[in-house]
């Protein structure tokens, strides 16, 4: 496959050795090393006894029988925990405090209540069966709207069940749309989803004479260190966090959970090595869920199709505690108007507490929700005025000469060529042929219907710019060693950072080592989330490597008693020239080693602003009118994330993102019953797809460099998810439009299609 890169006017072969993932050899041969694989002497095991109801008052806890069981070290309740509760952020109702173990009240099914420490996992699990907990049930508030309307408070002392809100001032909806010739409106439900990483949460806490070692599955090792330092009230220098390989995070492993805090605390308290690896059911119950929005979108404009007014109203499900769910509407608000130049935009949101598992960040974190609303309502507007949805988008796009473009809510889009990606999508997908195929099915009296859906998106990456660390060091063996504060958990940073350094030095990526995930070896870092890594850690690595090249020049000038101007470096030749002599990196490394000179450079980088990747996605679906089954037949995308460092990695991130987004559109949904019991607690119950549910994804890369950083790069890890969800939904509606269907909420299952087609007819 060939990727054409606009910025460098060259062709790069994706299969080229220098672009291939250097991580894969280990993963595909000896395999990764995960927390569950680690074994230490005299390790004890932790088991959590969890709430069996979603909302209730704890009347009594009897752990005496469990404590007496053979192999049990101790059984711990809230009364034995001397840790401060978790206080919410200032924008959240301050009464919504979370205790690491609840003393009086449980708020969701699966909330940990009791901790058991035993010599083996089996003994800990058996002891859990002997713990007796009496909980007086309270009315569970599972639905956002029910919780919003209820006078019963999930948190005593709170003003309401609203954790945070963003309300427009002096806004009258009727007046707002009064001048519009055309107004369309619809409501959309984006249900909660489970992250389902292959590796669930896992932690080993190991006290030593010097410090507390923490081995953990995380996206942000330094964040874990900082949080534990504050929670345990010990100096951060006494905490050593090591993250090995991670089997997926998707946003759910950015922070550290109460279970992991308790393992660290109890390891220190009992001075013993403790290990906890969650089961799949525990992961479905208590690893933070994603999404969870109910939306009402309203779009107004002219009969010719020009958008003039847009209003989005959001109810966000926080779950039982106001974690990231309290803030997700902020990112939705930021990206409300999408790729369109709309003069008048208003937004309203409420984040609501419910008796369900708390909501955390999940791939895209608020941006897929914004794109979903605008792209669905744009298609409805197109049907209303009977205009091609492609032409309607082209008419309303922000134009290239309008950048940098500031939206109503303060987002400053750096660069964008939205028309370019949509026109490329039309060409690469052969859209005219797909539309013709749809008409053939309609006219052939077939039981199948074909639908084509598109979406155009813009998203924010590195949304809250933060300082990141990078270093480059020439080792005595002539190899290059890089260190970075971001943390790869599948993205391929070892390869991409090596690509950056190789581009500067000419050293092969196979002679470049990248160190990450160890807080003793990397002095600081923020971690990997929000598609921030290349444009933060990558830039820091770039700067450190450039500085190293100059430091070597200065070393050679001093070594040869030459002026700095007489020392040059040729990346293509791979050596420095100084007078009549040439010095390779191996030669320089030996000279520096013998002279006792450390050839290492460190760099820090914090961006001035976020960046805004964009693109266009197309989905073609086939709907069986008899079985109501949807088959995803074709996916074509054109995505632009600025300069692409490594095409293979970019495509890999897009493939993964598209699969997650398409799955969300068609299969995935967390379901609770009316009592708050999780009905999708295993992968047998939860709609989790395999590769057989998907066609080949036709992914295309475009490049519009950003001026925000010297690499010209934006993030791409979440783009695939953001663009494909509304494209799939639009495709299904397109397939069923002849039956008067204008919306089916995701996931679009056979049951929902059946109800839309036949549910209102008598049997």
Q: Is the pLDDT of residue 760 over 80?
A: no
pLDDT band for position 580 (cuts 50, 70, 90): confident
Adjacent-strand bridge partners of 636: 618, 698
User: Tokens 């084509």 — which residue?
Assistant: 452
The SS3 assignment for 516 reads coil
pLDDT band for position 442 (cuts 50, 70, 90): confident
Q: Is the pLDDT of residue 37 over 50?
A: yes
Q: How far is CA 384 from the centre of its chain?
A: 35
The predicted pLDDT at position 2 comes to 31
DSSP per-residue codes, 586-649 = HHHHHHHHHHT---EEEEEE--SS-B--EEEEEEEEEEETTT--EEEEEEEEEEE-BS-S-HHH
- List the structure tokens of 440: 């053939």
Model confidence over 599-639: pLDDT tens digits?
999 999 999 999 999 999 999 999 999 999 999 999 999 99
In whole angstroms, give the CA distance from residue 294 to residue 351.
11
Contact 464, 530 (CB under 8 A): yes
Mean pLDDT value of segment 712-733 = 98
The predicted pLDDT at position 355 comes to 98
Could you tell me which residues come within 8 angstroms of residue 209 by beta carbon, excluding any fewer than 6 positions away? none
Cite the beta strand spans of 176-289 per DSSP E.
182-193, 202-207, 212-216, 239-242, 273-277
Model confidence over 390-410: pLDDT tens digits?
999 999 999 999 999 999 999
Mean pLDDT value of segment 57-77 = 98
The predicted pLDDT at position 572 comes to 86
Min mean pLDDT across 511-525, 565-579, 654-668 is at 565-579
The predicted pLDDT at position 17 comes to 55
Residue length of the chain? 763
Number of Cβ atoms within 10 Å of the Cβ of 104 = 10
pLDDT band for position 443 (cuts 50, 70, 90): confident
Q: At what angle do helices 418-429 and 389-396 cross, to 10 degrees?
A: 160
What pTM does this model have? 0.96
The predicted pLDDT at position 763 comes to 37
| Averaged confidence pLDDT in the chain | 95
Could you tell me which residues come within 8 angstroms of residue 538 by beta carbon, excluding any fewer than 6 positions away? 496, 497, 500, 645, 711, 713
Mean pLDDT value of segment 141-162 = 97
- 144-175: b or e for each residue (b if 16 or more CB lie within 10 Å)? bebbbeeeebbbeebebbbbbbbeeeeeeeee
Peptide bond into 242 cis (omega under 30): no
**Regarding beta strands 468-474 and 480-484, do their DSSP bridges make them parallel or antiparallel, or are they unpaired?**
antiparallel
In whole angstroms, give the CA distance from residue 447 to residue 234.
67
pLDDT band for position 101 (cuts 50, 70, 90): very high
> Alpha carbon of 496 to those of 18, 117, 302, 649: distances in Å?
10, 42, 47, 8
Model confidence over 272-283: pLDDT tens digits?
999 999 999 999
Q: Is the pLDDT of residue 237 over 70?
A: yes
- List the structure tokens of 166: 């963003």
Residue 561's region, left for phi above 0, alpha for psi from -120 to 50, else beta, is: left
In whole angstroms, give the CA distance from residue 555 to residue 557.
5
Q: Is the pLDDT of residue 185 over 60?
A: yes
In whole angstroms, give the CA distance from residue 424 to residue 419.
8
The predicted pLDDT at position 18 comes to 61
For the beta sheet containing 43-50, the strands, ordered from the edge strand earlier in sequence to the opposite edge, are 72-76, 112-118, 43-50, 273-277, 202-207, 212-216, 239-242
- List the one residue out of 343, 349, 267 whose CA is nearest residue 76: 267
- List the structure tokens of 336: 């409300």
The predicted pLDDT at position 9 comes to 37
Model confidence over 486-499: pLDDT tens digits?
999 999 999 999 99
Helices within 237-361 (DSSP H only): 258-270, 280-286, 328-334
Mean pLDDT value of segment 471-499 = 96
Model confidence over 5-22: pLDDT tens digits?
333 434 455 445 567 899
Q: How far is CA 145 from the centre of its chain?
A: 26
Peptide bond into 747 cis (omega under 30): yes
Number of Cβ atoms within 10 Å of the Cβ of 564 = 13
Provide the 8-state DSSP code for 206.
E
Model confidence over 348-394: pLDDT tens digits?
999 999 999 999 999 999 999 999 999 999 999 999 999 999 999 99
Contact 319, 55 (CB under 8 A): no
The predicted pLDDT at position 761 comes to 56
Provide the 8-state DSSP code for 537.
I
Q: Is the pLDDT of residue 413 over 50?
A: yes
Could you tell me which residues come within 8 angstroms of residue 684 by beta carbon, excluding any fewer than 6 positions away? none
- List the one residue out of 703, 715, 712, 669 whose CA is nearest residue 688: 669
Which domains are seen in the chain, by residue range? 35-138+201-246+253-286 (3.90.1170.50), 290-462+610-758 (3.30.365.10), 466-605 (3.30.365.10)
* Greater model confidence, 254 or 759: 254
Could you tell me which residues come within 8 angstroms of residue 108 by beta carbon, excluding any fewer than 6 positions away? 51, 54, 55, 319, 320, 355, 356, 357, 358, 676
Could you tell me which residues come within 8 angstroms of residue 305 by beta carbon, excluding any fewer than 6 positions away? 381, 382, 385, 387, 391, 392, 395, 396
Model confidence over 339-353: pLDDT tens digits?
999 999 999 999 999
Q: Is the pLDDT of residue 455 over 80?
A: yes
């Amino acid at each position: 496959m060939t990727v054409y890169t606009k910025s460098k006017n060259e062709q790069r072969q994706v299969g080229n050795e220098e672009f291939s993932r250097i991580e894969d050899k280990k993963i595909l041969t000896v395999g990764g090393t995960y927390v569950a694989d680690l074994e230490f002497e005299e390790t004890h095991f932790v088991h959590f006894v969890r709430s069996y109801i979603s909302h209730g008052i704890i009347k009594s806890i009897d752990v005496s029988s469990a404590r007496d069981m053979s192999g049990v070290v101790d059984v711990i309740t809230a009364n034995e925990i001397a840790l401060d509760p978790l206080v919410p952020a200032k924008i959240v109702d301050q009464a919504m405090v979370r205790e690491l173990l609840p003393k009086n009240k449980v708020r969701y099914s699966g909330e940990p209540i009791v901790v058991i420490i035993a010599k083996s996992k089996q003994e800990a699990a058996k002891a859990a069966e002997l713990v007796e907990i009496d909980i007086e049930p309270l009315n569970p508030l599972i639905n956002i709207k029910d919780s919003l309307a209820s006078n019963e408070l999930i948190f005593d002392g709170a003003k309401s069940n609203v954790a945070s809100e963003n309300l427009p001032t002096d806004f009258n909806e009727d007046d707002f749309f009064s001048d519009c010739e055309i107004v369309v409106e619809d409501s959309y439900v984006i249900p909660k989803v489970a992250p389902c990483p292959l590796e669930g949460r896992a932690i080993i806490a190991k006290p030593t004479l010097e410090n507390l070692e923490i081995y953990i599955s995380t996206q942000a090792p330094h964040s874990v260190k900082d949080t534990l330092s504050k929670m345990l009230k010990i100096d951060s220098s006494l905490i050593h966090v090591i993250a090995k390989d991670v089997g997926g995070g998707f946003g759910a492993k950015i922070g550290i959970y109460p279970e992991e805090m308790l393992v660290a605390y109890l390891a220190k308290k009992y001075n013993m090595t403790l290990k906890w690896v969650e089961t799949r059911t525990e992961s479905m119950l208590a690893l933070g869920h994603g999404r969870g929005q109910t939306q009402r979108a309203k779009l107004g404009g002219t009969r010719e199709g020009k958008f003039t007014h847009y209003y989005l109203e959001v109810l966000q499900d926080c779950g039982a505690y106001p974690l990231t769910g309290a803030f997700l509407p902020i990112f939705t608000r930021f990206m409300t108007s999408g790729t369109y130049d709309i003069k008048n935009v208003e937004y309203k949101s409420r984040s609501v507490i419910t008796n369900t598992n708390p909501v955390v960040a999940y791939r895209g974190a608020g941006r897929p929700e914004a794109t979903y609303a605008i792209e669905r309502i744009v298609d409805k507007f197109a049907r209303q005025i009977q205009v091609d949805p492609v032409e309607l988008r082209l008419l309303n796009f922000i134009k290239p000469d309008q950048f940098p473009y500031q939206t109503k809510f303060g987002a400053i889009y750096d660069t964008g060529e939205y028309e370019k990606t949509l026109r490329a999508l039309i060409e690469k997908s052969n859209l005219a042929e797909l539309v013709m195929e749809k008409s053939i099915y309609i006219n052939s009296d077939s039981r199948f219907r074909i639908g084509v859906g598109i979406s155009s998106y813009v998203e924010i990456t590195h949304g809250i710019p933060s300082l990141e660390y990078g270093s480059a060091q020439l080792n005595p063996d002539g190899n290059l060693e890089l260190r970075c504060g971001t943390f790869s958990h599948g993205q391929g940073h070892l390869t991409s950072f090596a690509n950056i350094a190789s581009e500067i030095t000419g050293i092969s990526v196979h002679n470049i080592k990248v160190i990450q995930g160890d807080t003793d070896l990397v002095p600081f870092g923020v971690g990997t989330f929000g598609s921030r890594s290349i444009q933060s850690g990558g830039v820091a690595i770039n700067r450190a490597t450039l500085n190293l090249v100059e430091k070597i020049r200065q070393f050679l000038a001093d070594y040869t008693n030459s002026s700095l101007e007489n020392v040059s470096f040729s990346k293509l030749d791979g050596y420095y020239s100084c007078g009549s002599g040439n010095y390779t990196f191996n030669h320089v490394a030996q000279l520096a080693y013998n002279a006792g000179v450390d050839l290492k450079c460190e760099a820090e980088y914090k961006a001035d602003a976020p960046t805004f990747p964009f693109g266009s996605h197309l989905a073609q679906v086939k709907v069986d009118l008899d079985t109501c089954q949807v088959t995803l037949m074709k996916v074509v995308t054109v995505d632009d994330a600025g300069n692409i460092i490594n095409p293979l990695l970019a495509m890999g991130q897009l493939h993964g993102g598209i699969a997650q987004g398409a799955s969300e559109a068609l299969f995935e949904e967390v379901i609770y019953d009316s009592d708050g019991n999780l009905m999708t607690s295993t992968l047998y119950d939860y709609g989790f797809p395999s590769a057989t549910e998907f066609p080949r994804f036709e992914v295309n890369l475009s490049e519009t460099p950003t001026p925000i950083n010297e690499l010209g790069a934006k993030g791409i890890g979440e783009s695939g998810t953001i663009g494909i969800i509304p494209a799939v939904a639009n495709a299904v509606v397109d397939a069923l439009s002849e039956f008067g269907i204008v919306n089916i909420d995701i996931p679009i299952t056979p049951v929902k299609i059946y109800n839309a087609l036949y549910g209102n007819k008598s049997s």
